[in-house]
């Protein structure tokens, strides 16, 4: 086994990002991710020596040549451990740049290569599937809620329900929780369980006029009316959490119609400034459209980013949707977004996720 190796971090289908987020926002986001990928590589290779760096912008691929530290034992095991650690950290990096929803679903890869051979990651925990099954069978999954405000006067309008694994466990973070569930073939069950717990735990606790937003992927949304406790919950917004091809959006029309018959509203999560998501909006006509962190991060950077946001907001308003700015972190972003006629806001500037006992304290 040679002492030299390569760490590769790449995002597949970068063209798709431009369709979703628009040229300006996606270009900036990929640049931000490149900086984050470099920081991740330096963290993973801290014990070793990076000897070269390459970046292929067209392929959104970053490569880091490195020499293994002397006296490390089995090089193959070391490289596998680096790959495993990197794959655990990569979703957090993606979420920070592209938003939690998009970040968890973005087709990205990280692997180590020695010569022309990719190194397989270390084996995963064989007990992970059993742990997920135990979590879904009980009530150990935690529900937290993040405030959603009126962007004009910062008045509290509602909350987004978010799920976490048990405190201080490897699955405490949502990206790891759902990644483990999907790896175990339990992704749909996890989504429905988290939504059910959020609905049960918030029933009767919202103030008059406030709403609760729950996150569902396409498969979960399609069966939500039959499987979730939604009767009488006109205070609920169902948030679709995936960028869809137009034919898949068409397939959800009837499911969306059933939810509306129950008195629920529909939201579309993680929307960008590209034409792909606007096509989905035209088909499903959501009540609320959330502009994702990738777009909102650029709001304080001036033109041309603000003009792209303003143009997209105008198109969404023309289709009958309110617009929610997600991931707002600074006053400069707030000011720019308010100037774009956006109605709703969410992000650390307005409030971090809260335990239910804190959000609904008597």
Tens of pLDDT, residue by residue over 171-188, are 888 888 888 888 888 999
Considering only the C-alpha atoms of the chain, give the largest distance between any 2 of them, rounded to a whole number of Å. Answer: 66
Whether the pLDDT of residue 128 is over 80: the answer is: no
Ranking 82-91, 103-112, 265-274, 298-307 by mean pLDDT, the lowest is 298-307
Whether the pLDDT of residue 271 is over 80: the answer is: no
The tokens describing 235, both together, are 């205070």
For position 94, what pLDDT does the model report? Answer: 86
Tens of pLDDT, residue by residue over 295-323, are 788 777 766 778 888 888 999 999 999 99
More confident residue, 270 or 201: 201
First to last CA, the chain: 63
Q: Give the closest residue to 212 by CA, choosing from 232, 188, 240, 234.
A: 234
For position 1, what pLDDT does the model report? Answer: 44
Whether the pLDDT of residue 125 is over 80: the answer is: no
Place 227 in a pLDDT band, splitting at 50, 70 and 90: very high
Alpha-carbon dihedral angle through residues 188, 190, 193, 196, given to the nearest 10 degrees = -70
DSSP state of 231: T
272 neighbors 309 (Cβ within 8 angstroms): no
For position 120, what pLDDT does the model report? Answer: 63
The stretch 272-291 carries a mean pLDDT of 82
Q: 64 phi and psi, to 5 degrees?
A: -130, 105
- What residues are paired with 4 via a beta bridge? 67
Whether the pLDDT of residue 29 is over 80: the answer is: yes
The stretch 217-238 carries a mean pLDDT of 95
Place 77 in a pLDDT band, splitting at 50, 70 and 90: confident
Domains defined along the chain, listed by start: 4-119 (3.30.70.1230), 128-359 (3.20.20.450)
Which residue in this structure is represented by tokens 């959501």? 286
Percent of the chain with pLDDT over 70: 91
Q: Give the Cα separation of 361 and 314 in Å (integer).
A: 38
* Residue 70 CB coordination number (10 Å): 8
More confident residue, 93 or 159: 159
Place 274 in a pLDDT band, splitting at 50, 70 and 90: low
pTM of the predicted model over 0.85: no
Instruction: Establish whether the linkage from the previous residue to 309 is cis, with ω within 30° of 0.
Output: no
- What residues are paired with 146 via a beta bridge? 160
Tens of pLDDT, residue by residue over 38-58, are 999 999 999 999 999 999 887
Ranking 173-187, 195-209, 215-229, 311-325 by mean pLDDT, the lowest is 173-187
More confident residue, 293 or 55: 55
Tens of pLDDT, residue by residue over 135-152, are 988 889 999 999 999 999
Whether the pLDDT of residue 202 is over 80: the answer is: yes
309 neighbors 291 (Cβ within 8 angstroms): yes
For position 308, what pLDDT does the model report? Answer: 82
SS3 116: coil
198 neighbors 163 (Cβ within 8 angstroms): yes
346 neighbors 292 (Cβ within 8 angstroms): no
Q: Which residues contact 42 (CB under 8 A, 6 or more apart)?
A: 50
């Amino acid at each position: 086994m040679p002492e030299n190796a390569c760490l590769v971090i790449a995002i597949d289908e970068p063209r798709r990002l431009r369709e979703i987020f628009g040229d300006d926002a996606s270009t900036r986001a990929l640049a931000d991710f490149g900086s984050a990928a470099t920081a991740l590589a330096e963290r993973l290779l801290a014990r070793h020596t990076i000897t070269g760096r390459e970046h292929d912008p067209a392929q959104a691929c970053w490569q880091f040549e490195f020499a293994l530290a002397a006296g490390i034992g089995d090089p193959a095991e070391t490289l596998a451990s680096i790959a495993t650690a990197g794959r655990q950290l990569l979703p957090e990096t993606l979420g920070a740049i592209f938003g939690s929803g998009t970040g968890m679903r973005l087709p990205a890869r990280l692997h180590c290569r020695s010569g022309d051979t990719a190194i397989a990651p270390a084996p995963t925990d064989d007990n992970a599937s059993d742990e997920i099954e135990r979590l879904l069978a009980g009530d150990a999954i935690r529900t937290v809620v993040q405030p959603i405000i009126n962007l004009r006067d910062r008045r509290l309008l509602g909350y987004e329900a978010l799920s976490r694994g048990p405190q201080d466990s490897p699955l405490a973070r949502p990206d790891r929780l759902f990644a483990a569930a999907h790896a175990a073939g339990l992704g749909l069950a996890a989504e429905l369980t988290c939504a059910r717990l959020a609905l049960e735990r918030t029933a009767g606790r919202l103030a008059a006029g406030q709403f609760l937003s729950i996150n569902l992927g396409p498969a979960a949304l399609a069966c939500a009316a039959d499987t979730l406790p939604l009767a009488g919950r006109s205070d609920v917004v169902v948030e679709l959490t995936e960028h869809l091809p137009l034919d898949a959006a068409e397939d959800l029309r009837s499911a969306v119609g059933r939810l509306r018959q129950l008195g629920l509203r529909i939201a579309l999560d993680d929307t960008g400034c590209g034409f792909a998501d606007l096509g989905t909006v035209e088909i499903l006509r959501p009540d609320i459209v959330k502009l994702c962190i990738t777009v909102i991060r650029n709001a304080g950077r001036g033109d041309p980013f603000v003009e792209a946001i303003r143009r997209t907001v105008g198109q969404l308003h023309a289709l009958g949707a309110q617009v929610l700015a997600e991931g707002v972190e600074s006053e400069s972003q707030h000011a720019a977004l308010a100037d774009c006629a956006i109605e709703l806001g969410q992000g650390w500037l307005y409030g971090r996720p809260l335990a239910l006992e804190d959000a609904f304290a008597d």
